[in-house]
């Protein structure tokens, strides 16, 4: 199970959905007042990561190209934060000096993203979020009016085949109906929801560890590059346990124990609060 699927699952759990309710299709709430649009959106989102893959619909490349004019170098404040994080990882022996230099040269200096008022924008994840992509494609299709009806019917009957018939025209359609790339920022609601749940879990874990005598050396946030590259949400230190790199999960079901997380010491679940040794998978009792 990949990260987005994990997030969808944990959102369902946090919302208190019953087993039968959780089997219902998730997302596409943008069209909750329009049954036809919501059905189309669900049919598209059911294709999941095929939507963004190069050997699928190829939306990742299309969105990346459309966002190019909005992308900027990493703001200095965030760059300094990431430099601090990578310094800590090097100092505690998680990465080599060569890996640190690679991070600085290839990730910090050569990695333009969308920042709004100096803050990382959720639109950076639109290129791979299949729920928000499905909402974008649904609106795009309905913008075509009567000319698009046959394509909509075809997609509802066979989503993959129907979308593939439009694949070569999608870049031009995106440019036509979303001439201003800032309009894409409106298609980030599901990214925001999953990010908010993740932030809440990290805060709960951090607070619990502080209660148990830990201090915070590093914490990221939405779009944090230390997390993206090294899988590390938190770096915290305790007089007895030393400095630990931590990956946070909302619940045990959100943790695929086969995930390597090679730079992570502990995987910590927020509900119920549980610490697992990332190598042995054994529970650690403080």
Please name the residues in contact with 121: beta carbons below 8 A apart, sequence gap of 6 or more.
113, 114, 115, 185, 188, 223
pLDDT at site 87: 98
Angle at 66 between CA 75 and CA 224, to 5 degrees: 35
Beta strands 266-269 and 242-249, pairing class: parallel
Report whether pLDDT(13) > 80: no
pLDDT at site 221: 85
Whole-angstrom distance, CA of residue 76 vs CA of residue 35: 46
Tens digit of each residue's pLDDT (9 = 90 or more) over 203-251: 999 999 999 999 999 998 889 999 999 999 999 999 999 999 999 999 9
Report whether pLDDT(6) > 90: no
CATH architecture assignment, domain 199-284: 3-Layer(aba) Sandwich (3.40)
What strands, in cross-sheet order, belong to the sheet with 215-219?
A: 215-219, 234-238, 242-249, 266-269, 274-277, 283-284
In the structure, what pLDDT confidence band is assigned to residue 16 with cuts at 50, 70 and 90?
A: very low
Report whether pLDDT(77) > 60: yes
Whole-angstrom distance, CA of residue 227 vs CA of residue 181: 27
pLDDT at site 4: 54
Please name the residues in contact with 232: beta carbons below 8 A apart, sequence gap of 6 or more.
85, 89, 218, 220, 226, 245, 246, 247, 263, 264
In the structure, what pLDDT confidence band is assigned to residue 5 with cuts at 50, 70 and 90?
A: low
3-state secondary structure of 259: coil
pTM value > 0.95:
no
Tens digit of each residue's pLDDT (9 = 90 or more) over 138-173: 999 999 999 999 999 999 999 999 999 999 999 999
- Average pLDDT over every residue of 56-83: 96
The mean pLDDT value of the chain amounts to 91
Tens digit of each residue's pLDDT (9 = 90 or more) over 20-56: 444 456 689 999 999 999 999 999 999 999 999 999 9
pLDDT at site 10: 47
Domain boundaries, given as residue ranges, for the chain:
3-68+123-191, 70-117, 199-284
Report whether pLDDT(257) > 80: yes
Task: Report the share of the chain in percent with pLDDT over 90.
Answer: 83
């Amino acid at each position: 199970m990949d990260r987005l699927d994990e997030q969808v699952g944990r959102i369902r759990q946090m919302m208190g959905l019953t087993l039968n309710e959780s089997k219902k299709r998730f997302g596409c709430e943008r069209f909750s007042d329009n049954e036809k649009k919501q059905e189309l959106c669900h049919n598209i989102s059911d294709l999941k990561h095929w939507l963004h893959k190069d050997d699928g619909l190829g939306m990742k490349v299309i969105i990346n190209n459309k966002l190019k004019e909005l992308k900027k170098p990493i703001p200095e404040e965030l760059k300094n934060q990431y430099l601090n994080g990578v310094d800590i990882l090097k100092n505690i022996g998680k990465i080599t000096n060569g890996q640190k230099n690679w991070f600085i040269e290839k990730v910090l200096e050569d990695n333009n993203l969308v920042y709004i008022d100096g803050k990382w924008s959720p639109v950076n994840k639109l290129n791979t979020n299949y729920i928000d992509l499905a909402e974008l494609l649904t609106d795009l299709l309905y913008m075509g009016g009567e000319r698009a009806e046959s394509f909509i019917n075809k997609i509802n009957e066979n989503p993959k085949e129907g979308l593939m018939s439009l694949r070569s025209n999608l870049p031009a359609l995106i440019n036509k109906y979303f001439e201003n790339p800032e309009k894409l920022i409106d298609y980030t609601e599901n990214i925001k929801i999953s990010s908010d749940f993740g932030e809440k879990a990290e805060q709960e874990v951090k607070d619990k560890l502080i209660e148990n005598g830990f201090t915070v050396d590093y914490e990221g946030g939405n779009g944090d590059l230390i997390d993206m590259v090294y899988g590390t949400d938190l770096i915290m230190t305790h007089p007895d346990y030393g400095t630990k790199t931590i990956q946070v999960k909302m619940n045990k079901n959100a943790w695929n124990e086969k995930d390597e997380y090679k730079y992570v010491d502990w995987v910590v679940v927020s509900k119920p609060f549980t610490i697992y040794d990332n190598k042995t998978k054994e529970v650690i009792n403080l």
